[in-house]
Amino acid sequence: MKRNPKEQEASHGKLTRRSLVLGGLQLAFVGGLAARMRYLQVDQADQFRLLAEENRINIRLIPPTRGDIFDRNGIILAQNTPSYRVTIVREDAGDVDAVVTALNRLIPLDGEDLERAMAEMRRSPPFLPITLADRIGWDDISRVAVNAPALPGITPEVGLTRVYPQGPDFAHVVGYVGPVSDYDLSKIEDPEPVLRIPRFQIGKVGFEAKREELLRGKAGAKRVEVNATGRVMRELDRREGQSGADMQLTVDADLQGYVQARLGNESAAAVVIDCDSGDIRASVSSPSFDPNLFVRGISVADYRALTQDEYRPLADKTVQGTYPPGSTFKMITALAALEEGLVGTEDTVYCPGHLEVSGRRFHCWKRAGHGHVDLENSLKQSCDVYYYDLALKVGMDKISAMAKRFGLGVRHDLPMSAVARGNAPDRQWKSDVHGQDWLVGDTVNASIGQGYMLASPLQLAVMSARLATGRAVTPRLIKSIDGVEQPDGAGESLGINENNLRVLRRAMYAVSNDRRGTAYGSRIIADGYRMAGKTGTSQVRNITAAERAAGVIRNEDLPWERRDHALFVCFAPYENPKYAVSVVVEHGGGGSKAAAPIARDVMLEALYSGTPPLASYPKKDRNRIQAQQERLQRERPARGSYGNDRA
């Protein structure tokens, strides 16, 4: 049916309005979309480009090369050496168990290392490489490389690992490194990102730990392109880090090795200090251990053997061990009295074998007594009663102050683990620590280095160096950092009356060189090398009145742990002191028998910078000394023979 013109005109008008409305809506939508696209693509372009770049580019740290450690003569003590290792990527390996089994047929895999690697693999992303075997030999790495096509996901690699060529000789001084643990991170307020790199190693004990930041260096970084799963596709650029500082210590590797061998199987410690500079030339704790075992992961059996050894090989007895100094402390008591003007060099004290104080009898080591003795003879024969009497005159506070002046009861600032303060007690100390009054008997005990008095072998060596020089000699372990010499420890004058020091030095000379001296059997007879010293024996048990009446049990008849400690301190040459030495032999018995011979041998080795001539020893000892020297030469391992068995 044909519509009339009016109807057609009305219909056309409605269609036009609808088209305009629809067109307007479409235009508004397109305009809004265009505006949004412009906002995103132009106004926000930089922000989204950054986000996209961060998703595509990762910044990864490059571990720095750890600084080397040398002795004073440039002999390497700790270094980084190439190390071959085998890694596995789980997602590339497919059947991990089958691949590991095939690898184990080619090279022997340590059970503990394998178990640790599998545990690490389970908690790590599948694309990260996990170390299956570390520090393996060239033959093993070659077999893996040849068979690589049959070992999917397995990669032979070369890296750097820490090695200690001198082995046990420097285990306590240098220490060792190990992987960063959660405990290590918990002790650091704001850990550097490099510390979170898997298996990154830091110093655990000793010098390695105390100078960790200098030795570690600064990490580098590289930019890598990764895919959506995080797998590295390619390296874009890198910035190399800063290697750690090379450190030169004051110790002498040859002397250190000799002292370690000379102490042998004893539970003992010895320290050698240069009197001119304060340089520690040797610091030896025996028995020791091989630090290389800790770097590559010590076995449970080996660690248990170390921790259960009654001689405590893991402890550094030179700075951590504190012992009653015994008669080696008598010079301090005498000097306190001399400086106060309370005793003259010719004044004598009668020793009947004991001294009665406040109703208690304090005994001399010589039951029959020494009779009338002056200062020199009291020190030469180590009369206890003489020092009991001095202590009652001078008082404990003055004795304690003098002890601290000579480095006892003071924590020396050295980059070594757990350096002990020791104890030079006074009246206030006992009140603060024990809540008790100081007793006169405490003073008597302390006067001969017993009771509350405690000192480390390091402190005793410092005391000897200060007695020898009259200066505040301070121990120094770091000689240079990256070739820059560090300040020495020569020290200023102690302000002690030189005449009083001269009296004590002469008395110490008599100890070693007078026929009645307690160390006469361990004297040095070479002209220009003669030694001044002092023996010490410190009790570790109480001797009852009943035992004294029946006869004191000899050390040789007691269990090892109940025997007295043996001590000896000395300096030489007497006329111009060059070195000071201290030796402590745990439960060694008498200082004259156990410690003095070791100290004499160590002193001669230091003075001659090597094996001393037999003419330096008394004639009666020369055959024995020659046999000892030959034995020690055979027993000492070749330099640098440790840590390279699997490098």
Active site residues: 327
Residue 224 contacts residue 236 (beta carbons within 8 Å):
yes
Residue 240 DSSP label: -
Helix (H, G, I), strand (E, B) or coil at 322: coil
Residue 273 contacts residue 489 (beta carbons within 8 Å):
no
C-alpha pair distances (Å), 76 with each of 209, 356, 414, 641: 18, 58, 20, 12
Let me know if 186 is exposed, middle or buried by CB neighbors in 10 A (0-12, 13-18, 19+). exposed
Tally of CB atoms within 10 A around 197: 16
Q: Which residues pair with 485 in a beta bridge?
A: 480
Q: Tokens 């009497």 appear where?
A: 389
Residue 574 contacts residue 509 (beta carbons within 8 Å):
yes
Give the span between the Cα atoms of 190 and 181, in whole angstroms.
15
3-state secondary structure 453-475: CEECHHHHHHHHHHHHHCECCCC
Let me know if 221 is exposed, middle or buried by CB neighbors in 10 A (0-12, 13-18, 19+). middle
Give the span between the Cα atoms of 343 and 534, in whole angstroms.
21
Residue 120 contacts residue 130 (beta carbons within 8 Å):
yes
Residue 166 DSSP label: T
C-alpha pair distances (Å), 154 with each of 90, 102, 311, 382, 644: 9, 11, 44, 70, 25
Q: Which residues pair with 78 in a beta bridge?
A: 69
Residue 158 contacts residue 83 (beta carbons within 8 Å):
yes
Residue 48 CA, chain-centre distance (Å), reads 52
Q: Which residues pair with 249 in a beta bridge?
A: 478
Question: In sequence order, which residues have a C-beta less than 8 Å from that of residue 581 and are 6 or more positions away?
Answer: 270, 271, 272, 273, 461, 464, 568, 569, 570, 571, 599, 602, 603, 606
* Maximum distance among all Cα pairs of the chain, rounded to whole angstroms: 156
Give the span between the Cα atoms of 86 and 143, in whole angstroms.
11
Tokens of 172: 């306590």
Tokens of 563: 């025997």
Closest residue by Cα to residue 164 from 247, 75, 285, 76:
76
Give the span between the Cα atoms of 588 and 565, in whole angstroms.
5
Measure the CA angle with vertex 585, ends 579 and 588; round to 5°: 140
Q: In terms of residues, how long is the chain?
A: 647
C-alpha pair distances (Å), 267 with each of 16, 205, 285, 460: 110, 20, 8, 17
Let me know if 185 is exposed, middle or buried by CB neighbors in 10 A (0-12, 13-18, 19+). exposed
Give the span between the Cα atoms of 220 and 531, in whole angstroms.
54
Give the span between the Cα atoms of 420 and 408, in whole angstroms.
10
Can you state the percent helix, strand and coil of the chain, rounding each to 5? 45, 20, 35
